[in-house]
Amino acid sequence: MKVKSSIVSIIALSAVLAGCGGGGLPEANSVNCSGRGMETALVEFKNNEPARQAFLDKCNEVNK
């Protein structure tokens, strides 16, 4: 019985964590505006040029 409840708990936790993916665009902060973070963040903006430019502008402000 203990194994069955553990499996159910693992499945439930996995479902909750999968829902934490965010879904929104990345924020301009010190992590997302430097190096590898910038590369990863810009991929999210591939079909949204105005939002991409706004992100880059905010990164310039953060890095000043």
Question: pLDDT, tens digit, for every residue of 13-22?
Answer: 666 555 555 5
> Is the pLDDT assigned to residue 64 strictly greater than 90?
no
- Read off the pLDDT of residues 23-61 as tens digits, 9 standing for 90 and up: 678 888 888 888 888 888 888 888 889 999 999 999 999
For residue 28, the surrounding DSSP H or E stretch is none
pTM over 0.75: no
Nearest Cα to 51, choosing from 21, 30, 23, 24?
Answer: 24
How far from 21 is each of 17, 18, 28, 56, 64, CA to CA, in Å? 8, 6, 18, 22, 30
Provide the domain limits for residue 47: 2-62
Domain count, the chain: 1
